[in-house]
Structure 1
Amino acid sequence: MAHLRDAGHNYQRPSATNGASQINSDVYFTPGQDPLNQLPVVHEASHDSAEKQDDPLCLENTRTQVQQCIYSWQESDDDDRCIFWLSGMAGTGKSTIARTVAHEFQRRKCLVASFFFSRGSGDSESASFLFTSLAKQLATRRDTATQATSSAHIALQDALREALRQDPDVIRKSRQEQWNKLIIRPLSSFFAKLQDVSPTTSAVLVIDALDECSNENDIKGIIRTMARQQLPHARLRIIITSRPETLVRLEFSEKRNILHSSLSLDNVPQHVIDADLARFLNSRFDAIRDHQEGLTEDWPGLHTLNVLLRRCGGLFIYAETLCLYLEEDCQHSQSRLQTVLNKTTLQGKGHTTALDDMYLTVLSNAFKNLSKLSESEKDRSKDLYDHVVGSIVVLQDYLSASTLSCLTRVSHFDIMAILHRLRSVIKQSGIESPITLLHETFREFVSDQRRCKDVHLAVDTKTAHRRTFNDCLHVLSAHLKQDLCDLKDPGIAVDDPRVDSVMISNGLALHVQYAVCHWTSHLERGGVDAADLCAVDTFLHKHLLHWVEAMSWLEKYAEAVESISKLYELLEFETDLKLFCWDARKFMISNGSIIARTPLQIYCSALVFSPKKSLVWRAFSEQTPAWLVRYRSPYDKWDQCIFKLPLTAYASDALIPIAFSPDSSTIAFNSGTCVDIWSSKSGISIASLEVPPTTDCLLFSPDGKHLALTVDKACICLFDMLARTIDSVLKTQNGSIEKFPFSPNGVYLISISQDQITMWTSANGELYWSSTTRGPHDILEK
């Protein structure tokens, strides 16, 4: 059977790291240090992180029905459904429930780990460190350890350390490999030790807002991977929350082998939701009455409360935004409430109309005095709003007010003034604290001109992206230079102890780091015009190597290659800039193993061994050290290939099986010892499957979701391109397989041998029907 080997780009190999082992493309384990302390973790994604300490929990005696449903499922020994999917429309309180149950399970001494996805927040919207973050939490949860479970907890830690020592590269392998080695095996050791002392203890994983994961393939892969757990179901429980998006819903419904319990908040009886909302509003109104004299004890009154409940339409985010708006200025809470009540719009389709009115009321009130300003002051106020709020809406990561000021060149005072006005919808607790939106629905509202009907308050995201791109390019042009960290030694590697976070921060301030990582993304999303092309051309000819050096120190060399590749594809015509991008891409791929490991070699060996007519060499040859000037490549120009496939001598002497995905973005080939799967756009290795040398046929499904390969004469493996793991092993009963075509829609795979034809379902690897020369003999499903 094929076995998934390492997955990651080919730029760095453990053999080139002086004993340090690479993980997840650019992270290293260093011998002599505790591997647990080197696991890459997204700290802010945990339910009990410092960043979430002020996020609300369910008010006492609210959401009791939903919580009890989850607790009963978790406690049941007979329920073998390992996953609980809690769905609901935006604003219905999924994240608050998720935080509440995570804290409650922790209080009950369960072993709890969590990951709260958050769109637009950097690592928290990516699944790259999902399993490593969960593993680190499971291994370091001291608050759940009792005297009876402490030895079991030590066994879990030891098992995780052993897994990392035996396979240091596991962090850059497939999701399934990480899941098995970092989660399942350590938990198996934990429960084996607990069997006699605490047999009822269980582990709970909470994955919130899965739909906010930035990569759709990761969403599908996470569900499929977690469904393949290999523990008694009562011992490991997984709670997933998301909007009822088609992508998540179809993944649960189409994969019939995914046993799960589900509860939609949209289906909870309205009277139950209204009762919870009434408790929530009354609690917050009590606090407002305490801060404002003159309000009656029953303020705002039963009739007003009922009107507000209808306006909420089941959305807790409406109630939260309303209360924050009233609490902003308690002395005027009555007049503000009256403004809200004067809105006559009722709930519309999708539960958004009343929420839109609330957001519009908040924005309008924040800038209601604009009419008193002069025309020039109005223009400046509008420009500041577009710049600051537009940037916050489109930023790819959370930045503090201080960092945002450096990026946008807007003063601290102006940014804080705008944030103070918008504190009902934008959270910010200090100039150095990250700026976050109260809820994702505000981003959706303010960036949709059909919903935010005041054109002066709506954010044109395309314009905002272009402005942020220009801000990034200005920052980069002002700060990038050769040897950013002033190391003066081209042999220093990225994992050298001298290169610590302080040195990186000194060379690359936070706003510069943001610009380095995201300028191409903003360019792509904002659209490219002639002025942009001129600016990019000037920037790359002056700072390409400095930018690649910065990306390398930030351990994002693979992303740099992807960025240049995307920029090349954005350019439609054979301009000088497009030719330069092609040359830069070739330069980066050809020298990747050197630059990603020792970034300052980009000015030394990488330039020296570039062809004489290379556009990159021509632009940056003066940055080569003087003692290397007399050395040059013997070649005049690059060859025309994008990258060269690594083949063994055996494969080089034979006709190797090779296959392209339907969209030509991926290539699979037998290198002689394994089947390698590469990105054809950037030359990055995606996965590697150990297979017998006899594997001589590879085929992608028409939808690109699966790669089929023969393992022996009577066996086909289906590799899931989304989950990056072997999904099914299909075995025929008679004869050797001669062909195995997919159906045109990719739903079925047919294996053809001399005397038998067999049809399988691609999604589940289930036998559909088979026939022999004697005719159909078995129909299992229609």
Structure 2
Amino acid sequence: MATDPSQLELLVPILRPIPVIGSSLAAVVAVAVELRRIHLTRVANAEALTEIAERAALLSGSIAQSRQAAEAHAQALSPVVEELYNVVEKTKRRADELRTREEEPPSFWETLCPCFRLSDADKALKSLRNDMDDAFKRFSTDAQIDILSDLAQIRDIVAALQHAQHNGQWDTLRGALRPTDDALYNAHGTPAGCFEGTRQRLLSEIETHVARTEAQHAVVFISGLAGTGKSAIARSVCDRLSATPNVHLLSFFLSAESLARRDAMSVVHTLAFYLARAFPQLLAPLCDAIHKHDGALARPVQEQARILLEEIVAKLAPCSETLVVVIDGADVLDREAALLTALVAFARAAPMRVRIVSTGRPTRALRDFFTSLPSSDAPPPDVRVFRLEDVDMFEVKHDIRTYLRSSLTQAAARHRALSTTGRSLETDVETLATRASGIFLYAAAAVRCLERPGLGGPESCLDGLLHGGPAYSALSAILDIAYSDILRRAIPEPGPSLLKDQARCLLGSLIFIEPRLQTQDIAALLGYRPPEAQALLDLFSAVVSVVGDFPSIFHYTFSEFLQNSARCQDTHLVVDASLQHGILAQRCLDVVRSAIGNNRTALAQGRIATLAADLRRISDSGTHDTRLYAFRVWPRHLSLAGSVTPDLTRALNQFTERSLRTWIDVTLEFDTHSSVQASIRSAIKWCEVWLEFSVAQDNSNPSE
């Protein structure tokens, strides 16, 4: 009898020789299931069944060959096919018996239970194929349908077992690596992305650099001080790339507040786990690597990265897709350069384009790493550094203004009082944007205060933010949390008091020194060696901006924080204005006396032309020399010191009558004698204050 072509066409997707689909057994059984479907539609006949059985046999051979080329795929069959031939034989015999008796067949779950042992999958598959071929020829249609029905159950069981085995591998891998899921870019609690309409140019540049096809692997570093929006930028980059075709995204957002989210091993383990998620074919190799390398998860970070990332990604077939790894907050790590070095090695090993995108504060370790990276590898990665402090301030202010305008407009819509008082919303936005001075954290804190209860409502809160009051205190409290964290990370407790005192002196000098000095001049003024001063500046790279080697406190609110003992809880780091001016006066006078002492011979002869010419030359060159600074501005620190501090006392002790005569001689020779005369007047004033203070001290201690 002829076969109905329209029905056989339904089998084409199954009978077409294709690579292994899930498992060889599942593919063969799928043919049997299709046979059953054809019978139920009342178009089956012996000739058609025989033809289909022959095709099934051919398909089995094709799949067996495919298994040799893709053994890893077919390996999932081994637990269930060892004695499957015996199960089918029992099924046939049972079906033969049922031809004459109406009984229910036994449960195939019970029949298969003792069969789950490893065996030769090809041998079992061949037996099953031959058995199916015989079954099609020897049994009546009813018996065949019984067998096929049971085979369909086997197919379902096999699929369930494969699914369970697959999930079991994932469970095993998760248990071994313990990935930090809350560090993913889209996890609950991860910072939100950039506000709509802001950072557009920067994000486009980053996205364009990531999409470039010229370089096989590239590294992008987004450097910025505290509060400049690094995490928001990283989140926006992730949001954009996650929706980009042919881009696989891995991410880890570090946090100093979480032990798991500031550990380099957690980064490696999480990236390895989600690398296998992105490329499921790496699941088995990754599990094997963990079992193969005894104690792999206890080895140093770079070695773990080699085993779990570098060697695993190398097993992928070459492709034109792009893998992007986003690491936010690299400066949180103790040895950030070690992890980034491992990630660059991982990128080189991958048979695809890899982009490493990292954000962090401009620590010395990160700056040195990205500076040396282009010349350290063969071939070197394509490196691009985006310094947020280099972004045009007008552009940054525009973005902050956009964010504030939208937030205040929404507040006005929710609270009609804001929109009925006739106040100029644009003026308020401009004032807050100016005060933010490039710090998105300031703007975000101001917006948070608008909805905070207990501040008198949005309009009263806005007035408080602009003119001082409880709202400004609330804003300061939000900033204080960030600043306190910066201090703890700079000098972890219990930090040495000497280091804290040096840090306080340096930070206080940055607050009060005007005009600004270069790092080496600040070091000379404070009596530090230049490397010591640089090391201190590196500790506070989150809040100290360095432009052209001129360091300065990036935002005035940090200066306010340091000078307020009620806000800065670390007493060793609180900057007392009077004490700091006394320190600077003392240091300046030390420099001045040293300069005069070096010219004492000329001074004794009434000639100080050498010193005067030297200072004029320094002044004409426009450089910030320590001596020039000391000669010109030390009386300012004398006059601003509000009380007689120990350092100021030492300075005044040195300012003897002989020193006054020296200054008079200097005045006659200097072109800038008016400044020196002001110094003398200031010194005389403080000598009088000091004498009064000394007399008072003597009177209070007559025994001394």
Superposition TM-score, scaled by structure 2 size? 0.43
Answer 1 or 2: which has greater helix percent.
2
Higher RCO (CA-CA < 8 Å; seq separation 6+): 1
Answer 1 or 2: which has greater strand percent.
1
Q: Which is greater in Rg?
A: 2
